[in-house]
Structure 1
């Protein structure tokens, strides 16, 4: 799956959204739990503060008396950060009381301006005790009797307890969400792959049509894809009818011109020799050019057809058999790799192209002709969902060959470098035109054996992008 893959895009977006959603959810839940834990801790300190208040009275000796029982051993263990403290206020000269966990130390009291009392006459503030514990202090001031004697009551709790609880919850939350997230990603991935499976099936079926293995999209498609499949099948059928109609029109035109040209050739024999040669040569040239333009029209009608396919090896073997019978004194060597390779061309165009090259090579070779077909790299159309393959075909002889300026001259329409040989001089131009119509390439060079080598780059059967 590449960057242009619909499956890859959906999987990427679903994965990114799921990961982002899980991160946001984990942060929100963690913050909500922190707020709840801090609120519960504050409520606990408030309850313990009022338990201490209810446990203290003023004795007959005008001293504070009472022993708060808060049900928490940490108030009796030293340096825990859990303390209660009672301090007389104003003219009340009693001794202060504190829990045994505080020992002889104390906790500093901020001013009322820095931390004011709330509407319940309570205030909560963080502090650090003498042992380095970070604590939260709950404080209030209470009048103890009718004489107006009052005292300040404080209860503190260690904030490390809250942090440890929050951290333990957060770890458990992250683990749970991570497991859930991974499971969700797997399930989402499978669901997406399963949901997009019909599209992949349609792609494979279309690839079979491109290779010529099928004539239409076949299979069971979901209702969302079925209209597209029906339209593609209708397009293929319309293309097929267009090609058949073009072939029929080409055939009709060729048939209608065949008789007048034959009449001209027959009548040319009755003329004097100079006029006869002129009429005959012009009629033959006209016949070859008509055939050339008819071929171009037919190729243009079916060039983009999904069904154009010709197996290379059988087509070349038929041409070689014909050439061996016509030239028994010449050798023809054929090599096709890999076996089973095919061209995205009509068989008639392949035979006309290679046939012209074989005729030229057999005409000028000394001993033999070598024909090869191998895979090659070629231009790709940007944005094409199907990767084009190309086939390089060469036809080489061991004749005298051509110089560069002669090659340029030979590629011109109607040019014959050797007037002693028969022909209208249109063979190479026809090869060039057919190759160009199929968006391929054609060039002539001097081959390794010293003769002329014709090199063709022709479109092979299309493969899908992995």
Structure 2
């Protein structure tokens, strides 16, 4: 799908939002779970600390006595990171009590200035024991009897328990969210594609109209698109009526002028040769100019219409057959690289343009005229012009050809470079005007056959909407 595709944009934005949302949800849930586990771990250490406090007393021999039962075998296994320790304070001199898991190992306890007691007279800090375990310590000081003898109590827990728990939960969470995310992306993608299918149907229907396969949008569309389809059909119908009305008016004008021009020609025959020839030549020029302006008015009325189309192959073949009959001494060749090409112009305009070029080529060619049609490109900065299909049509002959300054002169209205040959001098200028009305391009150059090469760049029809 192209970058300017509506489907691609919706899929990209929906997928990006889904992925971002799942990542944020995973981070938030994992962080909240970590905070909960750390809080539970601290509460566990506090409960075990109070258990040790309740289990230790001063014996009759003035020593610390007690055997805390914390219900966890890790307090009896060495180097597990789970320890408890009771040390006498002040003048109370006696041996400390330690768990079997700590043994003779020492803990690097920070000073009270570095980690002070909180309002419960408890403090919590993190250490690394001699076995390399990262442990959290819960510590407090308690007065044990009425004589003021006190002891410092410490209980530690291995923080690897927290990390392992959080890691296992996070892995399960990420896996579940990944499966859910992939499923959501697939479902969202299918839902978006299904929802946008009517737009694709509308695009195909418009392509059929441009390709000449249909004259209106056909098919059932959703409620949101149906008004657009109605408006497009109404616009097509309105455009058709405008074109037909313009054609009728142009035809009426042509018929209204035909009789006066015919009268002038008949009257010219009654005059002497010199004045009659002058009047006839001027009437012929007038007739050609009237026809030219009528054609321009008709083209302007329907230019850009999606209804304007011409089948190039039969039109060119018909013109070639006519020229062969009128000029049996000359060879006409037709080379179509893409048979069946449709042009976005009226059939009459195509025949008028090519017919003028063929007549001009037949008038000056020695023996050979070649007509070729290929695809081309329009050198324009207007995206509406450059992105559509363009057809290049050339008419070449083996005659004397024209020099660059003669080419400029030949394109001027009414100019004839060879007065000895019949004509009004309007043929090439009419071709240029008709082609320009369709935003095309008309150029003259030297042909490889030795004569003149006329190149037309004409708008083509594509079934794909740009």
Question: Do the two structures share a fold, i.e. TM-score over 0.5?
Answer: yes
What is the aligned partner in structure 2 of residue 330 from structure 1? 330
- Please give the alpha-carbon distance, in whole angstroms, between the structure 1 residues aligned to 2:282 and 2:60: 146
Asked if 1:196 is matched to 2:220, the reply is: no
What is the aligned partner in structure 2 of residue 261 from structure 1? 261
Query: Bigger shift: 302-311 or 62-71?
Result: 62-71
What is the aligned partner in structure 2 of residue 72 from structure 1? 72
Name the CA shift for 1:311/1:95 in 2 (closer, same or farther; >3 Å): same
- Please give the alpha-carbon distance, in whole angstroms, between the structure 2 residues aligned to 1:361 and 1:385: 29
Task: Please report how far the alpha carbon of residue 353 of structure 1 lies from its aligned counterpart in structure 2 after TM superposition.
Answer: 0.4
- Corresponding residue SS for 2:24: helix
What is the aligned partner in structure 2 of residue 207 from structure 1? 207
Task: Please report how far the alpha carbon of residue 387 of structure 1 lies from its aligned counterpart in structure 2 after TM superposition.
Answer: 3.5
What is the aligned partner in structure 2 of residue 276 from structure 1? 276
Asked if 1:228 is matched to 2:242, the reply is: no
Name the CA shift for 1:7/1:379 in 2 (closer, same or farther; >3 Å): farther
Asked if 1:360 is matched to 2:327, the reply is: no
What is the aligned partner in structure 2 of residue 406 from structure 1? 406
Return the TM-score normalized by structure 1.
0.96
Query: Bigger shift: 242-251 or 408-417?
Result: 408-417
- Please give the alpha-carbon distance, in whole angstroms, between the structure 2 residues aligned to 1:322 and 1:109: 111
RMSD (CA atoms)? 1.8
What is the aligned partner in structure 2 of residue 163 from structure 1? 163
- Please give the alpha-carbon distance, in whole angstroms, between the structure 2 residues aligned to 1:428 and 1:264: 26
Return the TM-score normalized by structure 2.
0.96
Task: Please report how far the alpha carbon of residue 179 of structure 1 lies from its aligned counterpart in structure 2 after TM superposition.
Answer: 2.1
Deviation string 1:19-70 (CA, Å, 9 cap, x unpaired) is 2212211111111011001011011111111221222222221211221121
- Please give the alpha-carbon distance, in whole angstroms, between the structure 2 residues aligned to 1:433 and 1:40: 88
- Corresponding residue SS for 1:393: strand
What is the aligned partner in structure 2 of residue 304 from structure 1? 304
What is the aligned partner in structure 1 of residue 14 from structure 2? 14
Deviation string 1:159-207 (CA, Å, 9 cap, x unpaired) is 1221122122222222222222222222212211111111111111111
Asked if 1:377 is matched to 2:377, the reply is: yes
- Corresponding residue SS for 1:455: strand
Deviation string 1:282-317 (CA, Å, 9 cap, x unpaired) is 111100000000000001111110011111110111
Task: Please report how far the alpha carbon of residue 132 of structure 1 lies from its aligned counterpart in structure 2 after TM superposition.
Answer: 2.9
Name the CA shift for 1:29/1:380 in 2 (closer, same or farther; >3 Å): farther
What is the aligned partner in structure 1 of residue 99 from structure 2? 99
What is the aligned partner in structure 2 of residue 295 from structure 1? 295
Task: Please report how far the alpha carbon of residue 14 of structure 1 lies from its aligned counterpart in structure 2 after TM superposition.
Answer: 1.3
- Please give the alpha-carbon distance, in whole angstroms, between the structure 2 residues aligned to 1:385 and 1:266: 47
Task: Please report how far the alpha carbon of residue 128 of structure 1 lies from its aligned counterpart in structure 2 after TM superposition.
Answer: 2.5
- Please give the alpha-carbon distance, in whole angstroms, between the structure 1 residues aligned to 2:430 and 2:151: 115
Q: Is the 8 A contact 1:212 1:308 kept in 2?
A: no
- The aligned length equals 466
Deviation string 1:180-235 (CA, Å, 9 cap, x unpaired) is 22222222122111111111111111111112221111111111111111111111
What is the aligned partner in structure 1 of residue 343 from structure 2? 343
Query: Bigger shift: 378-387 or 225-234?
Result: 378-387
Query: Bigger shift: 200-209 or 426-435?
Result: 200-209
- Please give the alpha-carbon distance, in whole angstroms, between the structure 2 residues aligned to 1:242 and 1:46: 90
- Please give the alpha-carbon distance, in whole angstroms, between the structure 1 residues aligned to 2:382 and 2:139: 76
What is the aligned partner in structure 1 of residue 180 from structure 2? 180
Q: What 5-or-longer segments of structure 2 have no aligned partner?
A: none
Query: Bigger shift: 386-395 or 187-196?
Result: 386-395
Q: Is the 8 A contact 2:373 2:391 kept in 1?
A: yes
Q: Is the 8 A contact 1:344 1:462 kept in 2?
A: no
What is the aligned partner in structure 2 of residue 246 from structure 1? 246
Name the CA shift for 1:181/1:434 in 2 (closer, same or farther; >3 Å): same
Q: Is the 8 A contact 2:296 2:437 kept in 1?
A: yes
Q: Is the 8 A contact 1:124 1:139 kept in 2?
A: yes
- Please give the alpha-carbon distance, in whole angstroms, between the structure 2 residues aligned to 1:133 and 1:364: 103
Task: Please report how far the alpha carbon of residue 114 of structure 1 lies from its aligned counterpart in structure 2 after TM superposition.
Answer: 3.2
Q: Is the 8 A contact 2:380 2:386 kept in 1?
A: no
